[in-house]
A and B are shown apart, each in its own frame.
Chain A
Amino acid sequence: MADKLLVRAYQVGVGDCIYVHIPNSQDGFHMLIDCGTIGSIELLEKAVRHIKENLLPNAATPGKKRLDLLVATHRHKDHIKGFDPEFFKDIQIKNIWLSAVMNPEHKQSTHTLALHEMATQKMRALEAFNLSLSPQLQQLMSMFSLDNDDAIKALREKIPDENNISPVYVHAGMESKDLNLQLDDATIKILAPENDIDGFYLGKEYDESLKGFQNGKIFFDNHSISTGTDHPENISISDFLRLKSRMLTNEFAFAETDSSLQNNCSVVLLISWRGRRLLFTGDAEWESTYEDGKHNGSWNVMWKMRHADLNDKLDFIKIGHHGSQNATPWIDGNNQGLEVNQIFNAILPLPGNLSQRNAQAIISTERTNVYETIPSPDLLVELGKRIKNTRDYYSALATIDKDFYKKKPFKELWEYEREDLLKAQQPYRTDLEKIITSKGYVDVEIEPAE
C-alpha cells in the first residue's frame, strides 16, 4: 500500500466524493476532490468522517488531521453539498483549489457569471411557485437552490478562514509546482478550465443571445399589459393554461445553458506520478467539435489547447457526470474520425486483447428514477472494453441473490440497466459495489510504472 497510489470513491448517491493518496517520502499527499450529492447529506458526513478517521495523517496541530489539498471542481451541489465547515472542523486543510469560474472577481468570466446570476434568480423565482415539473426539470431547478449558497460560501470564506489560507481559483496552465505543493514524485496539472471562460465556454452567440433576451424583455414589457390572473379574451382559460405549459421557457433554457457551462468549467486534473497518468474530470462535457469563439465543450477545448497533455494513454480516469453520455467523449458507431472519438481513442485506446488493458476507472453513480440515462449502460460497457478493473455485475449480484433484479432498486429501474449490458464487463460503480462489498466505497490502487 505504501508504494501505491490510492483513489477511493465514496458511495454518496449521485455525487462525487473522491479521496486520493499520493505516496511520498513522508506520510503521503492527501487530497479530497469534491464532496457532494443530490441525495442525503448524511452520506457525505459519513464519508468525511471515514476519511478523517481512517485515511488522513495527524496534523501538526494537536487533535487535528491533515488534508493537503481540497478541490471543488465546480459549483453544482452533487460536487460541493458536503463542504459544511462543521464536517471539516477537525481537519487542517493546507490548500483549497476552486474553479476559476467560482471567483466572483474573475475578469474573463463576467458574462458567464451574469448568466449564472440570471439563471439562479429565475430558478429561485420559479421555485416559489411550486410548479408541476418533469423530474428532469425538478433536478435542474434543484441545482440552483438556496442550500448551495452555504457550500459556496464555506469554500470561498469559512473553510479558508478557519485554516488561515486563501482559496486558489485555478485554471488551465497552472500546475502543482507553481502552487507550492510538496509532491516529491508527482505533479498535478490543471487542464481545464481555460482562464478565458467567456471566450472558450460561453462563446459570443450565447452572450449575444443573453443580451438579446434581456433587451427583448424590456422592449416587450414596455409594450404589454400584465396578464395577472387575466387571460386573452379570444381563447378559453383552459386553452390559455395549456398554451403556457407548451411554450418554450427561456428560464429553463438559460438554466440549462448555465448548468452545462458550470460543468464545462470543472477543474480537470492530470496527476502524473512515477510514470502513471491519472485524469480527474469533474463533470467536463463535450460537443461535436471545437469552434473558435463558440460555446465549446471542455473536452474539445482541452483537445485544442492542452493537446500535448491530453493526447496520451491514461492509467486512470474518474468517469465524469456519474456516467452520463455528455461527459465522456465517445459516440457509438464506426465513425472514429469524429473529434470526440479521437479524444477517447487517445486516452483510452481499445486494447488488442484483454491482457493489454492497463487503465483503471471509477464511476460515482447511482441508478435513480430521476434521470433514466444516468449512467448510460452503453457507455459503461464501452469503457469496460478499455479498462482492466471491471466486473460482470449480473453474475456478481446473482451470487448474492439470484432474484436481485426483482427487488429494489432494480425492480423499477431494471429496464434502464439492461440485462445484456449488466452481464458485460463494466467499470467499478459505487452504487453496485456497495451492494456487493457493503463497504460504501470503491478503491483503485495504482502501482508505479517506474
Chain B
Amino acid sequence: MLNPEELKKIYAARHVLDSDLERTLGVQIPFDAYLQDPLVAKEDPMFGFDENIYIQWEPGLADGPTSARFAVVDYNADTESIIPPAIWASDKQKFIKDGQILDQKNASPLQFHQVNVWVTVQRALRFFQEGSGLGRTIPWGFEGNRLIILPHAGFCENAFYDRRSKSLQFYYFGSQNERVYTCLSTDVINHEFGHAILDGIRPHYMESNSVQTAAFHEFIGDMTAILILLRNNEFRRKLAIKTKGNLDKADQLAYLAEQFGRTVKDRPYLRNARAKIKMSEVQNDDRPHYVSQVLTGAMYKILLSLSEHYLKERNQTPSQAYWNAIQRMQHTAIQPLDLLPPVDVTFRDYALAVLRYEELTNPKDPYGYFPRMLNVFEEYEILGQQDVIKLNQPDYLYKRLDLSVYYDMGYVVQSRSAAYNFLNDNRKDLYIPSSQDFIVSDLYDAAKLTREGQRLPREIIIEYIWEEEVKLDGPEFGYLNGKLTTMLCGGTLVFDEFGNLLSWFRKPGTQLDEGKDYIEENNIGLARRAEFMTNIAHRVKNGQIGLDHGSDKGFLGTRATPLSLKITHGMVDLEMSPHMSLEEDESDFGTGGRKWQISF
C-alpha cells in the first residue's frame, strides 16, 4: 500500500491513468454497500451486497465520512444527538468503528449506514460527472461545495433533498425489529440524489409552478435510481443470470424502492418504471410522482428496446446486451440534460433534447436508434404529431445562427460577462427583449465521451434568463389577486468550440418588439404566460400554495404545501417546497386544500 505522500502524487496524475491502474495503485478504493436494500438482501442473498464499489481516494478524506463534495452528519432530530462518525483509518484505507472495518461483515453498526450512504452518493456523483455522463464537475444548487447527508435524521416515512439546508435527509420508520432505514435503500438514495443533481444543473426549476417541471424532478430521481443500479457490474451480472436476457421480467430493476414499498404501500415497490401511462391521462393531475411515470415509463421502454436490440438483432449474450443497453442509456438519458432550457422544462423539451443529442452523436444511425426513440415518445404522447412530422423531415445537422455581431467562442467561454456581451450585442437575433435586464445564469463547457470512449467536440453551454413581471389580476387568484409575480424566461445555447450551434432551447416572454419572427416568438410567450397564470390559479384553488410551517426546531412536513410562498413588497415569489417526499397517497387526490390544513 502506498503511503499518503505517494498517493497524493498518483492522485494528481489520475486524469491520465487508466481506471484499472488507479485501482491497483490504490487511488480508487473498494467499499461495500447494499446492492438494493436490506429486505432484498435478506430474501435473495444474490442481490445482497456490492463489494466492488470503487471510490476515488482524495487527500481530504476524513471521518464522517467527509469528502470533497459530501459531509455525512449523523444528527437525529428526535433525540437531538449525534451518532459518532465512522473513522477514516488512512493506514487501512477504510472507514472503521472500534478498530473494525465497516463492511458487509460488520454491517450492523450505525456507522456502516453512514459509509453505505456516502459510498452510494459518491458513486452516483461519478455517474453524472464522468464522460459518459455530463463530462464536467457539477455544482450544487446552493452556495457551497459539500452536500450534507443525514443518514438517521429521525422517525418518519420520508427522505428528501432540501436546498436551503444543503442537505439530503434520510429518515427511518417501522417497529424495533422491522425498522426500515431509507439510508440503506440504494433506490431511495439515488432518487433523492437525483433531485440534488438536477437542482445543481438547473436551479431555476425549483421556482416553477408547473406540475410537469416538478414531475421532471421526480423522473430524474427515478431514472437515476434505475440507471445507476443497472450500471452496477455486480447487479447486472446477477440480473443476466436470473432473467436470461428478458429485461422486461426484471422486477429488481423496474421496482423502485422495494423495501419502502412493501412496508408502507403494501405492494412490492414504491413506483414501477413499467407504468404505461400516457400524457393524455395526466392532463389534470397535480401529483408530480404520478405524472413523472409517463416519462419514466417511456425511457424505461427505450431501455428495454435497446436491450432487446442487442440481444436479438445483434446476437449478444444477456450480459453483453445489458452492458451495452445501460451504457447507451447513460449517454441517451443523461448527456442531453445540458441542452435543456434553464426554466420550466417540459417532458417534450426533454424528448427533443434526447433526440437532438442522438442526431449529434450518432448522425448516421446505422441501427435506427432515432426512430426507435421517436416512436416511444409518440406512443406515450410526449411528442405530438406535428413534432413527429418535423423530426422525420430530412435536415442539416447544424443550422446557421444568423447573428449581427460575430464573437469568437474562445472569448465567450471566458466569463459570464463575456457571454453577456455576446448575447447582449445579438439580442434581436436571439429573441431577448430590448427592455429586459437579463443575466447569464450559467456558463460552462463539457468534455463528454462517445459510447466508444472517444472524445466528443467540446461543448460550450450558455444559459440566460430574465424575469417578466406578471400581474395576478382576477378573483381566481384568491388572496394573491392584484399582486405581482415574475415569470422566468430565457434559453440555453449550446455551441461546439468552433461556434457551430448544437442546440437552442428557448422559453420566450411576451415583450419582443422587433426582429425576425418576433410575433411568433411572442405568441409562444403569451401561451406560456396563460399557462403560468392557469397554474397559479389552480394551485390557489387547491390550496397548494402556503407559508412554511417552520421553526428553529424544524418544520412540520406533513402539512407543507407543494409551493411555498414569500411576499416581499407586494411581489409574490414561489418555490417548490423541499418535501419532495418519496410517495403520494392516491387517496389525497382531489382533496383540495384540506391536505395542507393544520388542525388546531
User: Would you give the 0/1 interface string for B475-516, flagging 1 where the beta carbon is closer than 8 Å to chain A?
Assistant: 100111111000000000000000000000000000000000
User: Would you give the 0/1 interface string for B342-369, flagging 1 where the beta carbon is closer than 8 Å to chain A?
Assistant: 0000000000000000000000000000
Stretch from A27-35, A42-50, A284-292, A308-316 that touches the partner: A284-292
Asked if A212 is an interface residue, CB under 8 A from chain B, the answer is yes
Asked if A437 is an interface residue, CB under 8 A from chain B, the answer is no
Residues in A with CB closer than 8 Å to B556 are 136-137, 140, 248-249, 252-253, 256
Quick one: which of B151-169 are within 8 Å of A by CB?
152-156, 158, 162, 164-167, 169
Q: Are B78 and A217 in contact (CB under 8 A)?
A: yes
Q: Are A248 and B63 in contact (CB under 8 A)?
A: no
- Chain B residue nearest to A413 in the complex (CB): B479
Asked if A333 is an interface residue, CB under 8 A from chain B, the answer is yes
Asked if B82 is an interface residue, CB under 8 A from chain A, the answer is yes
Cα A232 to Cα B171 with chains together (Å): 18
Taking a contact as CB atoms closer than 8 A, the residue among A133, A143, A245, A253 that contacts B156 in the complex is A253
Asked if B453 is an interface residue, CB under 8 A from chain A, the answer is no
- Chain A residue nearest to B75 in the complex (CB): A232
Asked if A234 is an interface residue, CB under 8 A from chain B, the answer is yes
Q: Are A216 and B165 in contact (CB under 8 A)?
A: no
Q: Are B79 and A248 in contact (CB under 8 A)?
A: no
Quick one: which of A240-298 are within 8 Å of B by CB?
240-253, 256, 259-260, 263, 283, 285-289
Quick one: which of A152-175 are within 8 Å of B by CB?
none
With A248-B153, A249-B77 known to touch, is A332 a contact of B592 (CB < 8 Å)?
Answer: yes
Asked if B176 is an interface residue, CB under 8 A from chain A, the answer is yes
Q: Are A239 and B166 in contact (CB under 8 A)?
A: yes
Residues in A with CB closer than 8 Å to B547 are 134, 136
- Chain A residue nearest to B175 in the complex (CB): A212
Taking a contact as CB atoms closer than 8 A, the residue among B77, B152, B479, B553 that contacts A416 in the complex is B479
Shortest A122–chain B CB gap in Å is: 10
- Chain A residue nearest to B478 in the complex (CB): A418
> How extensive is the interface on chain A, given as a class?
35 or more
Asked if B529 is an interface residue, CB under 8 A from chain A, the answer is no
Q: Are B76 and A233 in contact (CB under 8 A)?
A: no
Q: Are B597 and A373 in contact (CB under 8 A)?
A: yes
Q: Are B553 and A251 in contact (CB under 8 A)?
A: yes
User: Would you give the 0/1 interface string for B550-571, flagging 1 where the beta carbon is closer than 8 Å to chain A?
Assistant: 1111111111000000000000
Asked if B548 is an interface residue, CB under 8 A from chain A, the answer is yes
Taking a contact as CB atoms closer than 8 A, the residue among A126, A217, A321 that contacts B79 in the complex is A217
- Chain A residue nearest to B153 in the complex (CB): A247
Taking a contact as CB atoms closer than 8 A, the residue among B167, B176, B553 that contacts A126 in the complex is B553
With A256-B599, A338-B590 known to touch, is A223 a contact of B110 (CB < 8 Å)?
Answer: yes
Asked if A1 is an interface residue, CB under 8 A from chain B, the answer is no
Asked if A235 is an interface residue, CB under 8 A from chain B, the answer is yes
* Of A136, A211, A420, A421, most B-chain CB atoms within 10 Å: A136
Asked if B41 is an interface residue, CB under 8 A from chain A, the answer is no
Q: Are B557 and A211 in contact (CB under 8 A)?
A: no
- Chain B residue nearest to A226 in the complex (CB): B81
Asked if B64 is an interface residue, CB under 8 A from chain A, the answer is yes
Residues in B with CB closer than 8 Å to A416 are 479
Asked if A120 is an interface residue, CB under 8 A from chain B, the answer is no
Taking a contact as CB atoms closer than 8 A, the residue among A78, A253, A286, A420 that contacts B594 in the complex is A286
Residues in B with CB closer than 8 Å to A147 are none
Shortest A275–chain B CB gap in Å is: 33
Residues in B with CB closer than 8 Å to A126 are 553
Cα A212 to Cα B180 with chains together (Å): 10
Q: Are A288 and B156 in contact (CB under 8 A)?
A: no
Taking a contact as CB atoms closer than 8 A, the residue among A139, A241, A247 that contacts B154 in the complex is A247
Residues in A with CB closer than 8 Å to B71 are 232, 234-235
Residues in B with CB closer than 8 Å to A287 are 587, 591
Q: Are B543 and A246 in contact (CB under 8 A)?
A: no
Taking a contact as CB atoms closer than 8 A, the residue among B155, B158, B167, B557 that contacts A243 in the complex is B167
Asked if A54 is an interface residue, CB under 8 A from chain B, the answer is no
Q: Are A418 and B590 in contact (CB under 8 A)?
A: no
Cα A405 to Cα B148 with chains together (Å): 48
* Of B82, B84, B483, B554, most A-chain CB atoms within 10 Å: B554
With A213-B155, A219-B176 known to touch, is A139 a contact of B600 (CB < 8 Å)?
Answer: yes
Stretch from A16-24, A58-66, A323-331, A345-353 that touches the partner: A323-331
Residues in A with CB closer than 8 Å to B482 are 415
User: Would you give the 0/1 interface string for A68-80, flagging 1 where the beta carbon is closer than 8 Å to chain B?
Assistant: 0000000010100
> How extensive is the interface on chain B, given as a class?
35 or more
Shortest B323–chain A CB gap in Å is: 37
Residues in B with CB closer than 8 Å to A253 are 156, 556-558
Cα A340 to Cα B591 with chains together (Å): 9
- Chain B residue nearest to A264 in the complex (CB): B599
Q: Are A252 and B81 in contact (CB under 8 A)?
A: no
Residues in A with CB closer than 8 Å to B82 are 224-225, 227, 230, 232
Q: Are A250 and B552 in contact (CB under 8 A)?
A: no
Residues in A with CB closer than 8 Å to B475 are 418-421
Asked if A208 is an interface residue, CB under 8 A from chain B, the answer is yes
Shortest A410–chain B CB gap in Å is: 13
Asked if A180 is an interface residue, CB under 8 A from chain B, the answer is no
Residues in B with CB closer than 8 Å to A221 are 79, 81
- Chain B residue nearest to A77 in the complex (CB): B600
Cα A137 to Cα B598 with chains together (Å): 9
Q: Are A326 and B597 in contact (CB under 8 A)?
A: yes
Quick one: which of B22-78 are within 8 Å of A by CB?
62-64, 66, 71-78
Quick one: which of B571-599 are within 8 Å of A by CB?
578, 587-588, 590-594, 597-599
Asked if B384 is an interface residue, CB under 8 A from chain A, the answer is no
Shortest A337–chain B CB gap in Å is: 10
Q: Are A132 and B552 in contact (CB under 8 A)?
A: yes
Residues in A with CB closer than 8 Å to B174 are 212
Q: Are A132 and B551 in contact (CB under 8 A)?
A: yes
Q: Are B551 and A248 in contact (CB under 8 A)?
A: no
Residues in B with CB closer than 8 Å to A139 are 598, 600
Asked if A26 is an interface residue, CB under 8 A from chain B, the answer is no
Cα A70 to Cα B591 with chains together (Å): 34
Asked if A400 is an interface residue, CB under 8 A from chain B, the answer is no
Cα A371 to Cα B598 with chains together (Å): 9
Q: Are B83 and A224 in contact (CB under 8 A)?
A: yes
Cα A394 to Cα B480 with chains together (Å): 19
Q: Are B156 and A250 in contact (CB under 8 A)?
A: yes
Cα A137 to Cα B547 with chains together (Å): 11
With A137-B556, A249-B77, A256-B559 known to touch, is A288 a contact of B481 (CB < 8 Å)?
Answer: no
Taking a contact as CB atoms closer than 8 A, the residue among B479, B557, B599 that contacts A285 in the complex is B599
Q: Are B148 and A217 in contact (CB under 8 A)?
A: no
Asked if B18 is an interface residue, CB under 8 A from chain A, the answer is no
Cα A420 to Cα B154 with chains together (Å): 45
Q: Are A234 and B554 in contact (CB under 8 A)?
A: no
User: Would you give the 0/1 interface string for B267-305, flagging 1 where the beta carbon is closer than 8 Å to chain A?
Assistant: 000000000000000000000000000000000000000
Asked if A335 is an interface residue, CB under 8 A from chain B, the answer is yes
Q: Are B75 and A243 in contact (CB under 8 A)?
A: yes
Cα A165 to Cα B62 with chains together (Å): 70
Cα A394 to Cα B153 with chains together (Å): 50
Cα A289 to Cα B587 with chains together (Å): 8
Residues in B with CB closer than 8 Å to A263 are 599
Residues in B with CB closer than 8 Å to A372 are 479
Residues in B with CB closer than 8 Å to A373 are 543, 593, 597
Shortest B64–chain A CB gap in Å is: 5
Q: Are B155 and A250 in contact (CB under 8 A)?
A: yes
Asked if B322 is an interface residue, CB under 8 A from chain A, the answer is no
Q: Are B548 and A325 in contact (CB under 8 A)?
A: no
Cα A246 to Cα B85 with chains together (Å): 21
Residues of B within 8 A of A (CB): 62-64, 66, 71-85, 110, 144, 146, 148, 150, 152-156, 158, 162, 164-167, 169, 171-176, 179, 475, 478-483, 541, 543, 547-559, 578, 587-588, 590-594, 597-600
Pairs of residues from A and B, 5 with the lowest C-beta to C-beta distance, nearest first:
A249-B554, A224-B81, A246-B165, A260-B599, A420-B475
A-B contact pairs, 13 of them (CB 8 A): A140-B598, A213-B155, A235-B146, A247-B154, A247-B555, A248-B557, A250-B155, A252-B556, A256-B558, A287-B591, A378-B541, A415-B478, A415-B479
